[in-house]
Structure 1
Amino acid sequence: MAPQIQPVDGELGEILKNTFTNDFRFGYVTVDGVCLPKYYEKFAEAIENFEVRDDDIWVCSFPKTGTTWTQEMVWCIANDLDFEGGKVVLSERFPFLDFTPLFDYREIAKRVPGHDLPELVVDSVNFIRKLPSPRYIKTHLPFQILPRQIRNGEKKPKIIYVARNPKDTCVSYCHHCKLLEGYRGSFDDFCKLFLADKVNYAPFWKHVLGFWEKRNDENMLFLKYQDMKADLPSVIRKTAEFLGKVLTNEQLTLLTNHLSFASMKANPAVNYEDVIEFNKELKLIDYDGKFMRSGTVDQWKGQMSSEVIKQFDDWINENLKDTGLSL
């Protein structure tokens, strides 16, 4: 059955329209209840019918929950710590399935005469479809709108999901949207959108719990950002076991150092500085920031008002009740 698509209207629709640049966004819709740019409509069927392979490795997440960190960890483990091969930018080694539906660069490309956009930008779904196995695939799509073959269990790729405290996610996502998605509104407005499930890929809890409910499936590994911060070597070992790999103590130390925040922030293959410069060159953003910004936990404490913190706490308690999940 094709996904049900509805426009986002009302006050929240107006906030979305007025606070995000219209350079690559031309309205928002909900796809089976999931908030996404209107451009997603053109790719909904291709994603629904995407040919999944059993030897695919997917990293799934809500945005700004440790996705890039997890991708680099997974790719390095699966490729036996091939740090030389890892110099290729992560977006090519581990491409983003729903990148093109998220950013409509067609009009933007006209500003750069003679500049042909790569297929990874023009049609990320088709680009990934043609890759040789094993494919490494990133997506922010919630389980409910992943390709049909995953949802119905016809194909069982390895799926690693990473989750993060929603308050830190909201803070990080706001900075990210200013940096890469042209958000020009206030932090308070962003919190309002986040709590109302009107940022891309929301509802947040339906996203997280959709994968949490699958955590015991043999092809699913559920990770938490705070565990990676507290004891990265243990998470690396757990992930390696899931991927059928065994790391020596020396390899574990090498990878732990490679995945440190300082190393990731300085690594041009994963820090997306080229994308930020491209957006600045085209005057899509006027925000001075870094993709790898702080990498800390509890950053919300210095940015959220007591009123907003209470709203988040009530929302968290209501949604996590009786789930067995703690973030």
Structure 2
Amino acid sequence: MVSTDNEDAELDQILDKHFKNKFRSGYVNIKGFSMPKRFEDMQEDIYNWNVLSDKDVWISSFPKTGTTWTQEMVWMILNNLDAVKGQENLGFRVPFLELSAIFDHRESIKNNPDFDPPEFLADSIKYCKSLKSPVCLKTHLPWCLMPKHIQEGTRKPKIIYVTRNPKDTCVSYFNHAKLLEGYSGTFDDFCRLFLAGKLTYTPFWEHIFPYWERRHQSNILFVKYEEMIKDLPTVIRRVAQFLEKDLTDQQVAFLTDHLSFASMKKNRSVNYDTLVEFNKKHNLTNFDGAFMNSGTVGSHKTKMSPEWIEKFDAWTEEHLKGSLYSLE
């Protein structure tokens, strides 16, 4: 969908008005993608990241497409289903590489001696650099902003890319933005920002396609949220095989139960309760909600109007024209 200059300027104003808050100073466009301004300070470090080992694992995705679900699955498989060690916060176990760009707390740390965010949040690059290879990292970076070793193929860590249909993604992203990113606008405005490629990590399809086009590379596994909902045990086996790990039927059954929506929702190590409480304690956000909402396919039907569904469908059809990519 092409916006006019006036519409573009209006959307920029909406973005600033509803996202320029206590940990977001503004937005920049980097290689065609909308990113928080803080990312400019991190971009060179990430591009020159010394990817040490082909045994490293990177979990990449557009936000709210099943990333946390995949993180927990991958960590459990790599760590022999260690449920005891798995009680540690997921942010420590599978750190989010560019997290400090999303939640920029530098001013709060400087002005408030009692403000003490966890290390993986305060300086995510520093924390990730402190880990010994092989590491397991999470990122929402599009392919063009990944480290040069990965883009050039001089190092080939295992990359698991997870995606989801855009309508459900948008609804989940809206809830996330209200809960954790201080978004103060309406759902209608959020949909406009999503389709126009103004939100962090958008445009959506341009994020997906470069990974999709590389899906046949031996070090890349492409997974869809809808596949996980439909047949989680099969996806678990695919991921385990990709990670070169053998799982017994009993282990697959255990992990299927561990990764069920009911189990994940009450698991404090993965559902970001700690971060939600931290933000509320320091008056960074005040929206009452849950990090994990429905865990279903088709959740947009209860939130999106028929008009928005029609717009998203037309936009999707336009981008998938001539592509082998399917939403199913």
Q: TM-score, normalised by structure 1?
A: 0.95
CA apart distance, 1:289: 0.2
CA apart distance, 1:35: 0.3
CA apart distance, 1:122: 2.7
Q: How does 1:208-227 map to 2 (within 5 A)?
A: 208-227=208-227
Counterpart position of 1:246: 246
Amino acid in the other structure paired with 2:94: F
| CA–CA separation in structure 2 for the residues paired with 1:291 and 1:140 | 17
Amino acid in the other structure paired with 1:256: T
CA apart distance, 1:130: 2.3
Question: Are 1:159 and 2:159 matched, yes or no?
Answer: yes
| CA–CA separation in structure 1 for the residues paired with 2:303 and 2:111 | 37
Counterpart position of 1:19: 18
Superposed CA deviations along residues 167-225 of structure 1, whole A, max 9, x for unmatched, are 00000000000000000000000000000011100010011111100100000000000
Specify the SS of the correspondent of 2:120: helix
Counterpart position of 1:61: 61
Identity %: 54
| CA–CA separation in structure 2 for the residues paired with 1:311 and 1:165 | 14
**8 Å contact 1:81–1:255 — kept in the other structure?**
yes
**8 Å contact 2:20–2:26 — kept in the other structure?**
no
| CA–CA separation in structure 2 for the residues paired with 1:100 and 1:148 | 21
Amino acid in the other structure paired with 1:37: P
CA apart distance, 1:70: 0.3
Specify the SS of the correspondent of 1:198: coil
Amino acid in the other structure paired with 2:75: W
Amino acid in the other structure paired with 2:88: V
Specify the SS of the correspondent of 1:43: helix
CA apart distance, 1:118: 4.1
Superposed CA deviations along residues 123-167 of structure 1, whole A, max 9, x for unmatched, are 211221221121010000011110111000011000000010000
Alignment: residue pair count = 319
Counterpart position of 2:41: 42
| CA–CA separation in structure 2 for the residues paired with 1:14 and 1:248 | 54
Counterpart position of 2:77: 77
| CA–CA separation in structure 1 for the residues paired with 2:20 and 2:134 | 37
Counterpart position of 1:29: 28
Measured on the aligned residues, the alpha-carbon RMSD in Å equals 1.2
Superposed CA deviations along residues 259-314 of structure 1, whole A, max 9, x for unmatched, are 00000011111011010011111112121101011111101112112221111101
Distance 1:287 1:111, change over 3 A: farther
**8 Å contact 1:51–1:129 — kept in the other structure?**
no
Specify the SS of the correspondent of 1:109: helix
Specify the SS of the correspondent of 2:76: helix
Counterpart position of 1:5: none
Amino acid in the other structure paired with 1:24: F
Superposed CA deviations along residues 93-132 of structure 1, whole A, max 9, x for unmatched, are 0000010111110122356434444442232112212211
Question: Are 1:86 and 2:86 matched, yes or no?
Answer: yes
Counterpart position of 2:205: 205
Counterpart position of 2:320: 320
Structure 2: gaps of 5 or more residues: 1-7
| CA–CA separation in structure 1 for the residues paired with 2:143 and 2:243 | 21
Counterpart position of 1:98: 98
**8 Å contact 2:55–2:157 — kept in the other structure?**
yes
Q: How does 1:305-316 map to 2 (within 5 A)?
A: 305-316=305-316
| Deviating more after overlay: 105-114 vs 149-158 | 105-114
Amino acid in the other structure paired with 2:200: N
| CA–CA separation in structure 2 for the residues paired with 1:320 and 1:173 | 22
Structure 1: gaps of 5 or more residues: 1-8
Counterpart position of 1:189: 189
Amino acid in the other structure paired with 1:49: N
Amino acid in the other structure paired with 2:102: L
Amino acid in the other structure paired with 1:179: L
Amino acid in the other structure paired with 2:223: L
